Chain A
Amino acid sequence: MANAEVDALDFEDDDLMDEDGTADVDASSSPRAPQPKLKSAITGGAPKKTKGRGFREEADSERHSRLADRNFESLGTDGGPGPQRSIEGWIILVTGVHEEAQEDDLQNVFGEYGEIRNLHLNLDRRTGFVKWLELSKYEVTSVQKIFGISDSEGYALIEYENFEEAQNAITAMNGGELLTQTLTVDWAFSNGPSTGPFKRKNMRFVSDCYFLQSANLLALDMGLSYIKERCPVNYIERPGRTHRSRSPRRRY
Protein backbone atom coordinates (compact mmCIF):
# COMPACT_ATOMS: atom_id res chain seq x y z
CA MET A 1 0.00 0.00 0.00
CA ALA A 2 2.93 2.29 -0.74
CA ASN A 3 3.86 2.56 2.91
CA ALA A 4 7.53 2.53 2.07
CA GLU A 5 7.24 5.80 0.23
CA VAL A 6 5.65 7.60 3.08
CA ASP A 7 7.51 10.25 4.92
CA ALA A 8 5.53 10.32 8.10
CA LEU A 9 6.80 12.37 10.95
CA ASP A 10 6.72 10.49 14.19
CA PHE A 11 6.27 12.22 17.46
CA GLU A 12 6.10 10.76 20.88
CA ASP A 13 2.43 10.72 21.45
CA ASP A 14 3.18 11.62 25.03
CA ASP A 15 4.18 15.07 23.86
CA LEU A 16 0.71 15.86 22.77
CA MET A 17 -1.11 13.70 25.27
CA ASP A 18 0.45 15.42 28.21
CA GLU A 19 -0.67 18.80 27.13
CA ASP A 20 -4.19 19.06 28.26
CA GLY A 21 -5.72 19.00 24.87
CA THR A 22 -4.93 22.63 24.38
CA ALA A 23 -1.77 22.58 22.40
CA ASP A 24 -2.37 23.54 18.87
CA VAL A 25 -0.51 21.50 16.38
CA ASP A 26 0.52 24.25 14.09
CA ALA A 27 1.88 23.53 10.71
CA SER A 28 4.17 26.47 10.97
CA SER A 29 5.78 25.18 14.12
CA SER A 30 7.66 22.44 12.30
CA PRO A 31 9.14 24.07 9.30
CA ARG A 32 11.81 21.52 8.82
CA ALA A 33 9.75 18.73 7.34
CA PRO A 34 8.71 18.78 3.73
CA GLN A 35 5.12 18.08 2.85
CA PRO A 36 4.83 14.38 3.42
CA LYS A 37 2.92 11.99 1.33
CA LEU A 38 0.46 10.93 3.92
CA LYS A 39 -0.65 7.51 4.76
CA SER A 40 -3.62 6.92 6.92
CA ALA A 41 -2.31 7.83 10.31
CA ILE A 42 -3.81 5.04 12.31
CA THR A 43 -1.27 2.55 13.45
CA GLY A 44 -1.81 -0.18 15.91
CA GLY A 45 -4.33 -2.91 16.21
CA ALA A 46 -6.77 -1.56 13.68
CA PRO A 47 -4.84 0.01 10.84
CA LYS A 48 -6.86 1.61 8.14
CA LYS A 49 -6.64 0.15 4.71
CA THR A 50 -5.87 2.97 2.37
CA LYS A 51 -6.78 3.25 -1.23
CA GLY A 52 -6.37 5.90 -3.83
CA ARG A 53 -4.15 8.40 -5.51
CA GLY A 54 -4.68 10.97 -2.80
CA PHE A 55 -2.25 9.11 -0.58
CA ARG A 56 0.46 9.09 -3.20
CA GLU A 57 0.26 12.65 -4.47
CA GLU A 58 2.02 15.71 -3.25
CA ALA A 59 -0.17 17.78 -1.02
CA ASP A 60 -2.19 20.51 -2.58
CA SER A 61 -1.39 23.36 -0.25
CA GLU A 62 -4.65 25.16 -0.68
CA ARG A 63 -6.71 22.09 -0.05
CA HIS A 64 -6.89 22.49 3.68
CA SER A 65 -7.48 26.18 4.07
CA ARG A 66 -10.80 25.82 2.30
CA LEU A 67 -12.57 23.73 4.87
CA ALA A 68 -10.47 24.79 7.83
CA ASP A 69 -11.79 28.33 7.64
CA ARG A 70 -13.92 29.38 10.57
CA ASN A 71 -16.36 31.51 8.62
CA PHE A 72 -19.10 29.08 7.79
CA GLU A 73 -22.62 30.41 8.15
CA SER A 74 -25.11 28.52 10.19
CA LEU A 75 -28.54 29.16 11.59
CA GLY A 76 -28.58 30.11 15.24
CA THR A 77 -29.94 27.68 17.79
CA ASP A 78 -32.14 28.38 20.76
CA GLY A 79 -29.67 26.52 22.89
CA GLY A 80 -29.80 22.95 24.11
CA PRO A 81 -29.43 19.74 22.20
CA GLY A 82 -32.08 18.32 19.93
CA PRO A 83 -33.50 18.98 16.50
CA GLN A 84 -32.82 22.32 14.85
CA ARG A 85 -35.28 24.43 13.03
CA SER A 86 -34.48 25.24 9.43
CA ILE A 87 -34.94 28.62 7.84
CA GLU A 88 -38.72 28.45 7.53
CA GLY A 89 -39.83 25.23 9.14
CA TRP A 90 -38.85 21.82 10.51
CA ILE A 91 -37.37 19.15 8.31
CA ILE A 92 -37.56 15.39 8.70
CA LEU A 93 -35.72 12.66 6.85
CA VAL A 94 -37.58 9.61 5.57
CA THR A 95 -35.43 6.67 4.50
CA GLY A 96 -36.22 3.30 2.97
CA VAL A 97 -38.49 4.88 0.40
CA HIS A 98 -39.49 2.43 -2.31
CA GLU A 99 -37.91 3.26 -5.64
CA GLU A 100 -41.25 3.50 -7.37
CA ALA A 101 -42.69 5.90 -4.85
CA GLN A 102 -43.90 9.19 -6.27
CA GLU A 103 -44.26 12.52 -4.58
CA ASP A 104 -48.01 11.94 -4.42
CA ASP A 105 -47.58 8.81 -2.35
CA LEU A 106 -45.55 10.76 0.16
CA GLN A 107 -47.98 13.66 0.11
CA ASN A 108 -50.86 11.33 0.85
CA VAL A 109 -49.14 9.67 3.76
CA PHE A 110 -47.27 12.57 5.32
CA GLY A 111 -49.76 15.27 4.48
CA GLU A 112 -51.91 13.90 7.25
CA TYR A 113 -49.68 15.38 9.95
CA GLY A 114 -49.57 18.90 8.62
CA GLU A 115 -49.22 20.97 5.52
CA ILE A 116 -46.08 19.97 3.66
CA ARG A 117 -44.09 23.13 2.86
CA ASN A 118 -41.30 21.42 0.96
CA LEU A 119 -40.63 17.94 -0.28
CA HIS A 120 -37.51 16.53 -1.90
CA LEU A 121 -37.76 12.94 -3.08
CA ASN A 122 -34.41 11.66 -4.32
CA LEU A 123 -33.97 8.19 -5.66
CA ASP A 124 -30.69 6.36 -5.62
CA ARG A 125 -29.24 5.97 -9.08
CA ARG A 126 -26.04 4.18 -8.16
CA THR A 127 -27.30 1.05 -6.46
CA GLY A 128 -29.67 0.48 -9.32
CA PHE A 129 -26.74 0.61 -11.67
CA VAL A 130 -24.53 -1.67 -9.60
CA LYS A 131 -27.19 -4.33 -9.68
CA TRP A 132 -27.31 -3.97 -13.42
CA LEU A 133 -23.67 -4.94 -13.64
CA GLU A 134 -24.25 -7.92 -11.41
CA LEU A 135 -27.34 -9.27 -13.09
CA SER A 136 -26.47 -9.21 -16.75
CA LYS A 137 -26.44 -6.91 -19.71
CA TYR A 138 -30.22 -6.79 -19.84
CA GLU A 139 -31.92 -3.55 -19.19
CA VAL A 140 -32.30 -3.36 -15.46
CA THR A 141 -35.79 -2.02 -15.18
CA SER A 142 -37.34 -4.71 -17.34
CA VAL A 143 -35.59 -7.45 -15.38
CA GLN A 144 -36.73 -5.87 -12.16
CA LYS A 145 -40.29 -5.74 -13.32
CA ILE A 146 -40.27 -9.37 -14.35
CA PHE A 147 -38.93 -10.57 -11.05
CA GLY A 148 -40.52 -7.95 -8.85
CA ILE A 149 -37.12 -6.92 -7.58
CA SER A 150 -36.69 -3.62 -5.90
CA ASP A 151 -33.03 -3.05 -5.36
CA SER A 152 -32.73 0.63 -4.96
CA GLU A 153 -34.34 2.87 -2.52
CA GLY A 154 -34.37 6.50 -1.80
CA TYR A 155 -35.00 9.07 0.82
CA ALA A 156 -37.23 12.06 1.17
CA LEU A 157 -36.83 15.31 3.03
CA ILE A 158 -40.09 16.82 4.16
CA GLU A 159 -40.64 20.23 5.70
CA TYR A 160 -43.47 21.15 8.02
CA GLU A 161 -44.21 24.60 9.34
CA ASN A 162 -44.13 23.71 13.00
CA PHE A 163 -42.40 21.36 15.40
CA GLU A 164 -45.50 19.45 16.49
CA GLU A 165 -46.48 18.51 12.96
CA ALA A 166 -43.00 17.18 12.26
CA GLN A 167 -42.86 15.33 15.59
CA ASN A 168 -46.24 13.73 14.94
CA ALA A 169 -45.11 12.56 11.52
CA ILE A 170 -41.99 11.04 13.04
CA THR A 171 -43.83 9.30 15.84
CA ALA A 172 -46.53 7.96 13.59
CA MET A 173 -44.52 6.91 10.56
CA ASN A 174 -41.18 5.73 11.90
CA GLY A 175 -41.23 1.98 11.24
CA GLY A 176 -44.31 2.36 9.11
CA GLU A 177 -44.79 1.05 5.62
CA LEU A 178 -44.98 2.61 2.20
CA LEU A 179 -45.50 0.44 -0.88
CA THR A 180 -44.54 -2.66 1.15
CA GLN A 181 -41.24 -1.17 2.32
CA THR A 182 -40.46 -0.13 5.87
CA LEU A 183 -39.70 3.50 6.42
CA THR A 184 -37.56 5.13 9.03
CA VAL A 185 -38.42 8.70 9.91
CA ASP A 186 -36.37 11.08 12.01
CA TRP A 187 -35.24 14.67 12.32
CA ALA A 188 -32.72 15.86 9.77
CA PHE A 189 -30.91 18.72 11.50
CA SER A 190 -29.54 19.02 14.97
CA ASN A 191 -28.29 21.76 17.28
CA GLY A 192 -25.12 19.99 18.21
CA PRO A 193 -22.79 17.18 17.37
CA SER A 194 -24.24 13.76 16.88
CA THR A 195 -21.37 11.77 18.13
CA GLY A 196 -23.05 8.44 18.70
CA PRO A 197 -20.48 6.26 20.38
CA PHE A 198 -17.77 8.88 20.01
CA LYS A 199 -16.88 11.41 22.60
CA ARG A 200 -16.55 14.92 21.36
CA LYS A 201 -14.16 16.09 24.01
CA ASN A 202 -10.91 15.92 22.17
CA MET A 203 -12.16 16.88 18.81
CA ARG A 204 -10.69 20.03 17.47
CA PHE A 205 -9.60 21.38 14.15
CA VAL A 206 -5.97 22.11 14.04
CA SER A 207 -4.85 24.09 11.02
CA ASP A 208 -5.47 21.58 8.29
CA CYS A 209 -5.45 18.40 10.27
CA TYR A 210 -8.47 16.92 11.85
CA PHE A 211 -8.39 14.80 14.97
CA LEU A 212 -11.04 12.56 16.31
CA GLN A 213 -11.36 11.03 19.69
CA SER A 214 -13.09 7.78 19.37
CA ALA A 215 -14.13 5.80 22.38
CA ASN A 216 -14.49 2.83 20.08
CA LEU A 217 -10.92 2.46 19.05
CA LEU A 218 -9.65 0.36 21.90
CA ALA A 219 -7.26 -1.09 19.40
CA LEU A 220 -5.39 2.18 19.43
CA ASP A 221 -3.73 1.13 22.58
CA MET A 222 -0.37 1.59 21.09
CA GLY A 223 1.58 4.49 19.91
CA LEU A 224 0.43 6.50 17.04
CA SER A 225 2.39 8.39 14.50
CA TYR A 226 0.64 11.46 13.33
CA ILE A 227 1.54 14.20 11.05
CA LYS A 228 2.15 17.75 12.13
CA GLU A 229 2.55 19.06 8.67
CA ARG A 230 -0.05 19.85 6.05
CA CYS A 231 -1.41 16.60 4.81
CA PRO A 232 -2.76 15.65 1.44
CA VAL A 233 -5.78 14.20 3.11
CA ASN A 234 -7.89 16.17 5.54
CA TYR A 235 -8.74 13.44 7.92
CA ILE A 236 -6.35 12.12 10.48
CA GLU A 237 -7.14 9.86 13.33
CA ARG A 238 -5.48 9.78 16.68
CA PRO A 239 -6.24 7.87 19.81
CA GLY A 240 -7.94 9.36 22.76
CA ARG A 241 -6.00 10.26 25.83
CA THR A 242 -7.55 7.42 27.72
CA HIS A 243 -5.79 4.87 25.58
CA ARG A 244 -2.17 5.67 26.01
CA SER A 245 0.47 3.10 25.74
CA ARG A 246 4.18 3.10 26.26
CA SER A 247 4.75 0.06 24.14
CA PRO A 248 6.90 0.53 21.11
CA ARG A 249 5.10 1.77 18.09
CA ARG A 250 4.61 -0.35 15.08
CA ARG A 251 4.97 1.44 11.79
CA TYR A 252 2.87 0.58 8.83
Chain B
Amino acid sequence: MAGEEDGEFYLRYYVGHKGKFGHEFLEFEFRPDGKLRYANNSNYKNDTMIRKEVFLTPAVLRECRRIISESEEDDNNWPEPDRVGRQELEIVMGNEHISFTTSKIGSLVDVQSSKDPEGLRIFYYLVQDLKCFVFSLISLHFKIKPI
Protein backbone atom coordinates (compact mmCIF):
# COMPACT_ATOMS: atom_id res chain seq x y z
CA MET B 1 0.00 0.00 0.00
CA ALA B 2 1.26 3.47 -0.66
CA GLY B 3 2.47 5.27 2.39
CA GLU B 4 0.48 8.43 2.71
CA GLU B 5 1.42 11.29 4.92
CA ASP B 6 -2.11 12.60 5.18
CA GLY B 7 -5.22 10.60 5.69
CA GLU B 8 -6.22 8.38 8.49
CA PHE B 9 -4.01 5.83 10.09
CA TYR B 10 -5.13 2.91 12.20
CA LEU B 11 -3.43 -0.37 12.94
CA ARG B 12 -4.48 -3.39 14.98
CA TYR B 13 -2.62 -6.62 15.46
CA TYR B 14 -3.85 -9.70 17.28
CA VAL B 15 -2.26 -13.09 17.86
CA GLY B 16 -3.76 -15.69 20.11
CA HIS B 17 -5.26 -19.06 20.73
CA LYS B 18 -7.67 -20.75 23.10
CA GLY B 19 -6.44 -23.65 25.13
CA LYS B 20 -5.67 -24.99 28.51
CA PHE B 21 -4.82 -21.61 29.93
CA GLY B 22 -7.82 -19.79 28.56
CA HIS B 23 -7.77 -17.32 25.75
CA GLU B 24 -4.12 -16.40 25.55
CA PHE B 25 -3.51 -13.47 23.29
CA LEU B 26 -1.48 -10.41 22.51
CA GLU B 27 -3.21 -7.47 20.90
CA PHE B 28 -2.26 -3.88 20.25
CA GLU B 29 -3.87 -0.98 18.47
CA PHE B 30 -2.57 2.31 17.11
CA ARG B 31 -5.48 4.71 16.94
CA PRO B 32 -5.73 7.77 14.72
CA ASP B 33 -5.77 10.08 17.72
CA GLY B 34 -2.39 8.69 18.71
CA LYS B 35 -3.44 6.36 21.48
CA LEU B 36 -1.61 3.06 21.66
CA ARG B 37 -3.50 0.31 23.44
CA TYR B 38 -1.82 -2.91 24.44
CA ALA B 39 -3.38 -6.03 25.91
CA ASN B 40 -1.82 -9.32 26.87
CA ASN B 41 -3.82 -12.11 28.44
CA SER B 42 -3.19 -15.51 29.85
CA ASN B 43 -4.63 -17.65 32.62
CA TYR B 44 -1.43 -19.60 33.00
CA LYS B 45 -0.92 -20.07 36.71
CA ASN B 46 -4.00 -17.95 37.25
CA ASP B 47 -2.40 -14.94 35.63
CA THR B 48 -4.67 -12.06 34.61
CA MET B 49 -4.91 -9.61 31.76
CA ILE B 50 -2.43 -6.82 31.29
CA ARG B 51 -3.84 -3.71 29.67
CA LYS B 52 -1.87 -0.55 29.03
CA GLU B 53 -2.50 2.56 27.04
CA VAL B 54 -0.54 5.69 26.26
CA PHE B 55 -0.74 8.58 23.82
CA LEU B 56 1.98 8.66 21.21
CA THR B 57 3.30 11.75 19.50
CA PRO B 58 2.86 12.28 15.75
CA ALA B 59 6.55 11.41 15.35
CA VAL B 60 5.89 7.91 16.66
CA LEU B 61 2.86 7.44 14.40
CA ARG B 62 4.94 8.51 11.42
CA GLU B 63 7.52 5.89 12.29
CA CYS B 64 4.79 3.28 12.55
CA ARG B 65 3.53 4.23 9.10
CA ARG B 66 7.04 3.97 7.74
CA ILE B 67 7.39 0.49 9.18
CA ILE B 68 4.31 -0.75 7.36
CA SER B 69 4.48 1.17 4.13
CA GLU B 70 5.72 -0.36 0.91
CA SER B 71 4.15 -3.71 1.47
CA GLU B 72 1.75 -5.16 -1.05
CA GLU B 73 0.49 -8.48 0.20
CA ASP B 74 -2.83 -10.16 0.19
CA ASP B 75 -3.88 -12.99 2.46
CA ASN B 76 -5.72 -14.96 -0.21
CA ASN B 77 -3.21 -17.76 -0.20
CA TRP B 78 -2.23 -17.66 3.41
CA PRO B 79 -3.15 -20.48 5.77
CA GLU B 80 -6.45 -20.14 7.53
CA PRO B 81 -6.52 -19.77 11.30
CA ASP B 82 -6.60 -23.12 13.06
CA ARG B 83 -6.56 -24.80 16.47
CA VAL B 84 -3.01 -23.74 17.04
CA GLY B 85 -4.06 -20.11 16.81
CA ARG B 86 -4.75 -17.09 14.69
CA GLN B 87 -3.25 -13.77 13.73
CA GLU B 88 -5.11 -10.69 12.60
CA LEU B 89 -3.70 -7.55 11.11
CA GLU B 90 -5.96 -4.63 10.32
CA ILE B 91 -4.61 -1.42 8.83
CA VAL B 92 -6.22 1.75 7.56
CA MET B 93 -3.85 3.99 5.71
CA GLY B 94 -4.73 6.66 3.21
CA ASN B 95 -7.55 5.24 1.15
CA GLU B 96 -6.85 1.58 1.85
CA HIS B 97 -8.30 -0.60 4.54
CA ILE B 98 -6.88 -4.06 4.92
CA SER B 99 -7.84 -6.86 7.25
CA PHE B 100 -5.70 -9.97 7.09
CA THR B 101 -6.34 -13.17 8.97
CA THR B 102 -4.11 -16.18 9.11
CA SER B 103 -2.81 -18.89 11.40
CA LYS B 104 0.14 -18.49 13.71
CA ILE B 105 3.55 -18.66 12.09
CA GLY B 106 5.96 -20.71 14.16
CA SER B 107 9.04 -20.07 12.09
CA LEU B 108 10.32 -19.53 8.58
CA VAL B 109 9.72 -23.22 7.93
CA ASP B 110 5.97 -22.55 8.07
CA VAL B 111 6.49 -19.66 5.69
CA GLN B 112 8.50 -21.70 3.18
CA SER B 113 5.96 -24.48 3.05
CA SER B 114 2.98 -22.19 2.51
CA LYS B 115 1.31 -21.33 -0.78
CA ASP B 116 2.61 -17.77 -0.76
CA PRO B 117 6.07 -17.90 0.79
CA GLU B 118 7.16 -14.47 -0.34
CA GLY B 119 4.09 -12.58 0.79
CA LEU B 120 3.94 -14.48 4.05
CA ARG B 121 7.60 -13.86 4.72
CA ILE B 122 7.09 -10.12 4.40
CA PHE B 123 4.15 -10.39 6.78
CA TYR B 124 6.27 -12.43 9.20
CA TYR B 125 9.02 -9.81 9.34
CA LEU B 126 6.53 -6.98 9.44
CA VAL B 127 4.87 -8.50 12.50
CA GLN B 128 8.27 -8.89 14.14
CA ASP B 129 9.07 -5.24 13.48
CA LEU B 130 5.71 -4.12 14.83
CA LYS B 131 5.94 -6.24 17.96
CA CYS B 132 9.45 -4.97 18.57
CA PHE B 133 8.26 -1.40 18.25
CA VAL B 134 5.28 -1.86 20.56
CA PHE B 135 7.18 -3.85 23.17
CA SER B 136 9.86 -1.16 23.26
CA LEU B 137 7.30 1.62 23.63
CA ILE B 138 5.28 -0.14 26.30
CA SER B 139 8.15 -1.46 28.36
CA LEU B 140 10.07 1.81 28.30
CA HIS B 141 7.00 3.78 29.30
CA PHE B 142 5.66 1.47 32.01
CA LYS B 143 8.36 -0.82 33.29
CA ILE B 144 10.55 0.02 36.22
CA LYS B 145 14.15 -1.00 35.87
CA PRO B 146 15.36 -3.43 38.50
CA ILE B 147 18.04 -1.95 40.72
Contact = CB atoms under 8 A, between A and B. Distances in A.
B57 A194 contact: yes
A237 B96 CA distance: 12
Interface residues of B, number: 67
Contact of A51 (B10, B67, B74, B137): B74
A73 B51 contact: yes
Interface stretch (A15-23, A25-33, A42-50, A102-110): A42-50
A67 B27 contact: yes
Interface stretch (A142-150, A227-235, A240-248): A227-235
A187 B129 contact: no
What does DSSP make chain B's interface, helix, strand, loop or mixed? mixed
B84 interface: no
A190 B56 contact: yes
Given A66-B39, A67-B39, A87-B144, A74 B53 contact: yes
Interface string A81-96: 0011011100101010
Contact of B56 (A42, A47, A188): A188
Contact of B129 (A69, A125, A189): A125
Contacts of A233: 90, 97, 99
Given A49-B96, A71-B51, 20 more contacts: A40-B97, A50-B96, A51-B99, A67-B29, A86-B140, A86-B141, A93-B57, A93-B60, A124-B129, A126-B67, A126-B128, A157-B137, A157-B140, A192-B55, A200-B33, A203-B33, A212-B32, A232-B99, A233-B90, A237-B8
